[in-house]
C-alpha cells in the first residue's frame, strides 16, 4: 500500500492539550472578544475617535441575537462619557421650551433596534382634551451615544431614512406630523442631536445601500463581523472558552465545564469544516447552549452529546429512508468483492427546507470498446450534469492522454455514467473515482468494492480537496454498516482534506476498532494502487497499470491479418467449394 490509514486519534481534538487551556479560559472574567473580533474593535475605535465621520457600516446577518451581541460589544468597547440632558418644559398649555437640565448629566449609552417604525425612532405627539404632549423616541434617548439600526429597515422606509440622515447632518431633531396633509398645530423647539450611527446588514442589503447612497457608503467606516475565527494559539483557545462562558452567563445558564468545551470543539469544527477554525457567531453558540441545557439542565459533555444525538435523530427521517433503500437487497451498490469498471463514488444531498446535508454513495460504471478515442460522459449527453462536472471529465481525459504519450488517437471509446442517477450531477469531487473506473475498464483490472472514493484531480495527477467530506464518509459508513462491516471497508480521500475532518462518534469508534478505514492520498498513483493492488507505473511495464493499458493499445492498433497466404490449402479449398 502506498498510503497509511488515519488513526482515530487524528479524528478528534487533542484533549490532553486543550483541557488545561479551556480550564483557564472558563475561569477568566474576560469576554474573549479581543482576539476573536479584532477588525470590529478597530472599527469601533475609529468611530469613537473620528470627529468627522459619525457612520459605521457593519456586514452582519440581521438576527436579533447578533444585533444584541454587537450592542454589548460596542458598549463595552466605547469609553464612558458624560452627556448633557435636555427636557421640554411647558409653561402653559401647548407651549414648550427646551431646557438643559442643570446638574443632570448621564453616561452615553448604546441603543439598538433590529426593526423600528418612524414614530418609535423620532417620537410622536399625543393629544388629550386639546392638550398636546411630545413623547421622545429612540433617537432622542440615544443623543450623545450610539444608535445601531438595520440597513434593511431603513431601506424599507425611505422617508424615515431621509429624515434620519437630515437630522444627523444638521445635529437636531425636528418634529413632523405623521400626516403631511395635517401639520402640527403647535410649535415644538428642535431637539439638539449628537449621535454615532451604526448600520448593520447582510451583504445584499449593504449592496443596495451602496447603490442608493454611493457617496455616504464610500466615506463611511466599514467592517465585517467575522462568523468564524482561526484558533491556533494557546491564547486564542483560552479566549474562545472565555467567550463561550460569557455567552452562557449572559443567558443565565450554568457555567460550561471542560468536557462541554471539548465536545463543543468537535461540533464547531464540523460547522466550519475546518479543525482549526471555530464559529464566533452568537446565534450558533446560543443554539448549542440552549439544546445542551434542555437535555441535561447543565452544560457538560454528556448533556451536549445527548442534545446533538436527539437533534440528529429528529432530522434523520429522510436521510435514513434513502439510506435504507440504498442498502436494500435489490440495490446494486456493493461494499465487498471486486468489479471491473465499477466504483463507489460519493455525493452530498442538500435539499431545500431540510436543515442539514447528508452523504449518499453512488455507483459509477464505465464500459470500453473499440472506437475513436472519445470518452462519453452520459450525464453530459443526457443534460444531467453541470459545467464543473464536464470540466472535471476534460481534466482526467487530458491527464490520461499525457500519461499514455500516444502518437495517435486512443483506439478505444469509453462510456461513463452515474447509475440510477435521475437528478443533475455537478462538481468535480468525483473526478478521482471517474478516473479510477476508466483505468479499470481500460486495463481490465478489477476495483475493490469495499472502497468509496472522493477527490478532485488536476492535470498533473494531484488529488485536490473537496467539500462535504464528513457527510460523504458518514454516508458510505452507514451503507457499510447496514450491509455488514468487514474490517476492509473505508474511504479514499484527499490528503489535503484531513484538516477538515470532524466525524460522528459511530465512525470514530469503527476506526478505533479497525472496522472502518480512511486512506488519505495526494496523487492519482496512490489511489490506483490502493484500489487495484497494482502500481500505475513501474520499471517493468508488465507489472504496472500503465504498461497493461499500453499493451492493449498496441494490440488494438496491429493490422488484422488473414489466415494463411495465397497458396494456403484452406484458401483453394474454399474456392473449389464455391463451385
Active-site residue identified among 108, 415, 421, 429? 429
DSSP 333-398: --SSSEETTEEEEEEEE--TT-SS-EEEEEEEEEEEEESSS-EEEHHHHTT-B-HHHHHHHHHHHH
DSSP 13-42: --HHHHHHHHHHHHH--S-SHHHH-HHHHH
- The angle formed by the CA atoms of residues 217, 220 and 225, to the nearest 5 degrees, is 95
Residue 171 per-residue DSSP state = T
Q: For residue 112, what are the β-bridge partners?
A: 148
CA distance 528 to 99: 84
- The angle formed by the CA atoms of residues 41, 43 and 48, to the nearest 5 degrees, is 95
Alpha-carbon torsion angle 442, 446, 448, 449, nearest 10: 90
Helix/strand/coil for 167: helix
Alpha-carbon torsion angle 115, 117, 120, 125, nearest 10: 180
- Enter the C-alpha cell of residue 337: 468483492
Helix/strand/coil for 235: helix
Q: In the annotation, is 100 catalytic?
A: no
CA 239, 305, 301, 474 torsion-angle sign: negative
- Enter the C-alpha cell of residue 280: 464566533
Q: In the annotation, is 303 catalytic?
A: no
| 327: enclosing H helix or E strand | helix 317-327
* C-alpha Rg value of the chain to the nearest Å: 34
Active-site residue identified among 472, 478, 481, 504? 472
Q: Catalogue the active-site residues.
A: 429, 472
Amino acid at each position: 500500500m502506498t498510503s497509511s490509514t488515519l488513526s482515530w486519534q487524528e479524528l478528534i481534538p487533542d484533549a490532553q492539550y486543550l483541557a488545561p487551556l479551556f480550564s483557564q479560559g472558563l475561569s477568566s472574567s474576560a469576554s474573549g472578544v479581543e482576539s476573536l473580533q479584532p477588525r470590529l474593535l478597530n472599527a469601533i475605535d475609529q468611530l469613537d475617535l473620528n470627529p468627522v465621520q459619525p457612520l459605521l457600516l457593519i456586514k452582519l446577518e440581521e438576527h436579533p441575537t447578533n444585533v444584541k451581541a454587537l450592542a454589548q460589544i460596542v458598549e463595552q468597547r466605547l469609553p464612558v462619557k458624560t452627556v448633557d440632558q435636555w427636557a421640554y418644559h411647558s409653561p402653559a398649555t401647548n407651549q414648550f421650551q427646551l431646557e438643559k437640565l442643570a446638574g443632570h448629566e448621564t453616561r452615553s449609552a448604546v441603543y439598538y433596534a433590529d426593526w423600528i417604525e418612524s414614530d418609535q425612532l423620532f417620537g410622536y405627539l399625543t393629544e388629550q382634551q386639546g392638550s398636546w404632549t411630545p413623547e421622545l423616541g429612540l433617537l432622542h434617548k440615544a443623543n450623545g451615544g450610539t444608535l445601531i439600526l438595520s440597513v434593511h429597515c431603513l431601506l424599507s422606509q425611505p422617508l424615515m431614512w431621509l429624515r434620519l440622515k437630515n437630522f444627523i447632518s444638521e445635529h437636531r431633531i425636528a418634529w413632523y406630523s405623521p400626516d403631511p396633509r395635517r401639520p402640527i398645530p403647535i410649535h415644538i423647539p428642535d431637539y439638539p442631536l449628537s449621535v454615532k450611527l451604526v448600520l448593520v446588514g447582510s451583504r445584499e442589503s449593504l449592496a443596495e445601500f451602496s447603490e442608493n447612497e454611493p457617496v455616504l457608503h464610500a466615506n463611511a467606516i466599514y467592517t465585517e463581523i467575522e462568523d468564524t475565527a482561526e484558533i491556533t494559539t494557546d491564547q486564542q483557545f483560552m479566549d474562545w472558552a472565555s467567550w463561550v462562558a460569557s455567552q452562557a452567563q449572559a443567558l443565565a445558564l450554568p457555567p460550561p465545564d471542560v468536557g462541554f468545551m471539548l465536545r463543543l470543539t468537535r461540533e464547531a469544527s464540523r460547522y466550519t469544516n475546518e479543525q482549526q477554525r471555530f464559529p464566533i457567531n452568537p446565534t450558533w453558540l446560543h443554539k448549542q447552549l440552549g439544546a445542551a441545557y434542555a437535555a441535561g439542565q447543565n452544560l457538560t459533555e454528556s448533556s451536549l452529546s445527548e442534545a446533538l444525538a436527539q437533534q440528529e435523530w429528529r432530522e434523520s427521517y429522510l436521510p435514513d429512508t434513502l439510506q435504507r433503500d440504498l442498502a436494500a437487497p435489490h440495490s446494486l451498490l456493493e461494499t465487498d468483492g471486486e468489479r471491473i469498471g465499477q466504483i463507489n463514488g460519493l455525493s452530498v444531498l442538500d435539499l431545500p427546507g431540510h436543515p442539514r446535508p447528508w452523504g449518499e454513495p453512488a455507483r459509477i460504471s464505465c464500459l470500453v470498446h473499440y472506437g475513436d478515442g472519445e470518452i462519453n460522459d452520459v450525464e453530459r449527453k443526457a443534460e444531467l450534469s453541470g459545467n464543473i462536472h464536464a470540466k472535471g471529465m476534460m481534466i482526467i481525459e487530458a491527464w490520461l492522454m499525457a500519461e499514455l504519450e500516444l502518437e495517435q488517437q486512443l483506439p478505444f471509446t469509453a462510456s461513463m455514467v452515474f447509475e440510477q442517477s435521475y437528478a443533475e450531477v455537478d462538481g468535480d469531487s468525483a473526478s478521482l473515482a471517474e478516473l479510477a473506473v476508466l483505468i479499470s475498464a481500460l486495463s481490465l483490472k478489477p476495483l475493490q468494492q469495499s472502497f468509496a472514493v472522493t477527490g478532485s484531480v488536476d492535470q498533473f495527477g494531484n488529488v485536490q480537496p473537496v467539500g462535504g467530506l464528513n457527510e460523504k464518509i458518514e454516508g458510505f459508513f452507514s451503507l457499510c454498516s447496514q450491509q455488514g462491516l468487514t474490517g476492509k471497508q473505508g474511504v479514499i480521500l484527499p490528503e489535503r482534506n484531513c484538516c477538515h475532518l470532524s466525524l460522528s462518534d459511530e465512525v470514530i469508534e469503527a476506526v478505533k476498532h479497525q472496522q472502518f478505514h480512511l486512506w488519505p492520498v495526494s496523487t492519482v498513483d496512490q489511489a490506483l494502487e490502493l484500489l487495484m493492488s497494482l502500481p500505475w507505473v513501474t520499471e517493468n511495464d508488465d507489472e504496472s497499470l500503465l504498461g497493461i493499458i499500453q499493451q492493449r493499445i498496441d494490440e488494438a492498433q496491429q493490422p488484422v491479418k488473414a489466415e494463411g497466404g495465397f497458396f494456403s490449402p484452406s484458401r483453394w479449398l474454399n474456392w473449389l467449394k464455391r463451385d
